[in-house]
């Protein structure tokens, strides 16, 4: 009986080791990281055609909340008045475009398949309240809606921007303020 048990266990060890395959996850992670870096570089390049300010000199902050969220763009360098003026003008213009249902600017930067974008584009005037506000070091746009599907779309849209803007973007928190360097 002992001889049979040893042979059977040996058989199991051989058959399971034959079926097992080793996957080098470091190659997968590296490839994914390289693809993400390439995507960020492409978005940054396209962003220069849409955003008049220096993307590297700003931080985009996306704060989700139950009614939608807040998108802030803040100069990384304190008292960079020229950068702040460009940020404020751009966000004022974007607000006007968005109120008209024109989301072509983010579509040109991030692509037509950007998560959440199609739902935002399909929204009817008045379904999303879009408010502009100047803040210290930049500006913000506040998105408010009572429509749960549009809240979800805004959150997906924020997440996509966080990923696409890489080191120049961060998730915000309620009552989050300036990310400027002093």
- Band (pLDDT 50/70/90 cuts) for residue 54 is confident
Q: How many CB atoms lie within 10 A of CB 61?
A: 23
> Do residues 112 and 144 touch, judged by C-beta distance below 8 A?
no
User: CA 33, 162, 80, 95 torsion: positive or negative?
Assistant: positive
Per-residue confidence band for 113, with pLDDT thresholds at 50, 70 and 90: confident
Q: CB under 8 Å to 160, separation ≥6 — which residues?
A: 110, 114, 115, 116, 117
Domain ranges within the chain, ordered by starting residue:
42-171
Between residues 158 and 110, the one the model is more confident about: 158
In this prediction, residues 62-69 reach a mean pLDDT of 97
Q: What value does the mean pLDDT take over residues 142-167?
A: 90
Residue-wise pLDDT tens digits, 12-38 = 444 444 444 444 444 444 444 454 666
First-to-last alpha carbon distance for the chain, in angstroms, is: 78
Report whether 83 contacts 58 (CB < 8 A): yes
Q: Where are the alpha helices (DSSP H) in 20-53?
A: 25-50
Per-residue pLDDT at 176: 44
pLDDT of residue 67: 97
Instruction: State the Cα–Cα distance between residues 154 and 16, nearest whole angstrom.
Output: 48
User: Considering the chain, what is the average pLDDT of its residues?
Assistant: 76
Stated pTM of the model: 0.69
Interval 130-148: pLDDT, tens: 999 999 999 999 999 999 9
């Amino acid at each position: 009986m002992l001889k049979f048990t040893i042979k059977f266990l040996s058989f199991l060890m051989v058959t399971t080791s034959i079926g097992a395959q080793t996957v080098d996850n470091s190659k997968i992670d590296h490839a994914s990281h390289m693809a993400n870096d390439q995507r960020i570089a492409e978005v940054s390049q396209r962003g220069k055609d849409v955003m008049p300010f220096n993307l590297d000199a700003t931080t985009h902050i996306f704060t989700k909340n139950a009614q939608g969220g807040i998108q802030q763009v803040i100069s990384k360098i304190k008292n960079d008045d020229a950068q702040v003026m460009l940020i404020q003008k751009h966000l004022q213009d974007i607000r006007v475009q968005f109120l008209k249902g024109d989301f072509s600017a983010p579509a040109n930067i991030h692509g037509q398949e950007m998560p959440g974008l199609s739902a935002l584009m399909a929204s009817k005037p008045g379904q999303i309240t879009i408010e502009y506000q100047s803040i210290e070091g930049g500006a913000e746009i506040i998105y408010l809606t009572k429509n749960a599907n549009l809240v979800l779309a805004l959150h997906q849209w924020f997440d996509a921007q966080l990923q696409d803007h890489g080191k120049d973007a961060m998730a915000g928190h309620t009552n989050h303020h300036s990310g400027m360097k002093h």
